């Protein structure tokens, strides 16, 4: 133990004094990927990325009220665009860092049956993210409507405040199934999942913006650039997202 502590202190000393820090607002679905990227970012640049997670809507509301975030990784395009239009983000820097995939997940194996599981009589509670605040919730509604199941399942829907809470509803078994992001369950071996066919919902294009508060912060600019690097894109893909070729 003492040796580990010593090694840790040694690493601290080894860091250059100019290593900076940046605060990043991250949509809840990107939690694990962002954590992995922050680690890679630190290894590459020595800068620290401090991550705050929440539903895109909640983060957006905070940013419009002057929350001290440098970078905003939303789960949609609409909110970053609004932030940009409000003059809170560096104009022209917005780009799509990830394209999300919607999955149906259950603690038991039933979700693998896909739309048949949604039609089955045993379904009592279906968790989705609040569609007004989280794009994955919107995609879940799209899917149910495309399958002509929305009206019959409306009474069984429970909403999580974010996609993270939505997953937790199903993970604790309080909901039978949940529409979540592939990234949340990609590393799990338990439960069952069904990749929702892409023609059932609008593509979940997730945009990033460099906020004005981060413009003068070297670490923030570095993180924003790093997000487009091959290293970062490799991590993003590993968590079940697609990435767009850099413009």
Partner 1 sequence: MSALSDIWGPVVLTIELAGLTTAILLVISTPVAWWLARAPSLWKEIVGAVLALPLVLPPTVLGFYLLVMLGPDGPGGAIASLWGARTLAFSFTGLVIGSVIYSMPFVVQPIRNAFAAMGERPMEAAATLRASPWRAFWTVAVPLARPGFLTAAILGFAHTVGEFGVVLMIGGNIPGVTKVMSVAIFDFVETSRWREAHLLAAGMALFAFVVILAMSLIEKRMGRPAS
Task: Name the residue with tokens 């940046």.
Answer: 22
Task: Using CB under 8 A, pick the residue from 9, 39, 116, 132 that binds partner 1.
Answer: 132
Distance CA 241, CA 223 (A): 19
- Taking CB under 8 A as the binding criterion, the range among 29-37, 109-117, 123-131, 205-213 that sits at the site for partner 1 is 123-131
Give the shortest CB-91-to-partner 1 separation in angstroms: 21
3-state secondary structure of 30: helix
Distance CA 75, CA 139 (A): 11
60 touches partner 1 (CB under 8 A): yes
In the region spanning residues 184 to 243, those forming contacts with partner 1, defined by CB under 8 A, are: none
Report in angstroms the alpha-carbon separations of 70 from 24, 50, 77, 205.
Answer: 6, 10, 18, 21
Task: Name the residue with tokens 């509301």.
Answer: 61
Give the shortest CB-108-to-partner 1 separation in angstroms: 11
Burial zone of 46 (CB within 10 Å; 0-12 exposed, 13-18 middle, 19+ buried): middle
Q: Where are the beta strands (DSSP E) in the chain?
A: 21-27, 48-54, 71-73, 95-100, 102-106, 126-129, 157-160, 177-181, 192-195, 204-210
What binding mask, one character per residue, do residues 64-93 give for partner 1 by CB under 8 A, x or -? x-----------------------------
* Cβ closest to partner 1, residue 168 vs residue 225: 168
Give the shortest CB-9-to-partner 1 separation in angstroms: 33
In the region spanning residues 17 to 56, those forming contacts with partner 1, defined by CB under 8 A, are: 55
Give the shortest CB-172-to-partner 1 separation in angstroms: 5
* Cβ closest to partner 1, residue 40 vs residue 158: 158
**Count, residues near partner 1 per rule CB under 8 A:** 25
Task: Name the residue with tokens 């279906």.
Answer: 126
Q: Facing residues of 211 across strands?
A: 89
Give the shortest CB-174-to-partner 1 separation in angstroms: 4
In the region spanning residues 154 to 193, those forming contacts with partner 1, defined by CB under 8 A, are: 157-161, 165, 168-169, 172-176
Task: Name the residue with tokens 């919607």.
Answer: 102
- Taking CB under 8 A as the binding criterion, the range among 89-97, 120-128, 182-190, 200-208 that sits at the site for partner 1 is 120-128
* Cβ closest to partner 1, residue 3 vs residue 124: 124
Give 156's Cβ-side CA count (13 Å radius): 20
| Contacts to partner 1 by CB under 8 A | 55, 57-58, 60-61, 64, 124-125, 127, 130, 132-133, 157-161, 165, 168-169, 172-176
């Amino acid at each position: 133990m003492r040796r580990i502590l010593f090694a840790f202190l040694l690493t601290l000393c080894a860091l250059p004094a100019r290593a900076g820090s940046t605060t990043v607002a991250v949509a809840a679905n990107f939690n694990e990927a962002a954590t992995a990227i922050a680690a890679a970012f630190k290894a590459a640049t020595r800068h620290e990325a401090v991550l705050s997670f929440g539903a895109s809507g909640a983060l957006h509301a905070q940013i419009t009220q002057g929350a001290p975030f440098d970078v905003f990784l939303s789960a949609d395009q609409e909110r970053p665009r609004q932030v940009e239009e409000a003059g809170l983000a560096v104009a022209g820097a917005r780009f799509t860092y990830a394209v999300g995939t919607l999955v149906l997940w259950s603690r038991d194996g039933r979700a693998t049956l896909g739309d048949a599981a949604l039609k089955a009589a045993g379904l009592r509670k279906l968790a989705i993210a609040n569609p007004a605040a989280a794009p994955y919730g919107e995609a879940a509604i799209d899917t149910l409507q495309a399958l002509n199941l929305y009206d019959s399942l409306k009474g069984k829907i429970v909403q999580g405040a974010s996609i993270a809470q939505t997953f937790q509803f199903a993970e604790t078994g309080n909901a039978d199934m949940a529409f979540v992001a592939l990234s949340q369950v990609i590393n799990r071996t338990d439960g069952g999942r069904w990749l929702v066919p892409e023609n059932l919902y609008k593509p979940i294009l997730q945009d990033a913006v460099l906020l004005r508060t981060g413009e003068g912060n070297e670490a923030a600019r570095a993180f924003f650039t790093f997000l487009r690097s091959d290293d970062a894109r490799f991590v993003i893909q590993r968590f079940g997202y697609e990435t767009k070729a850099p413009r």
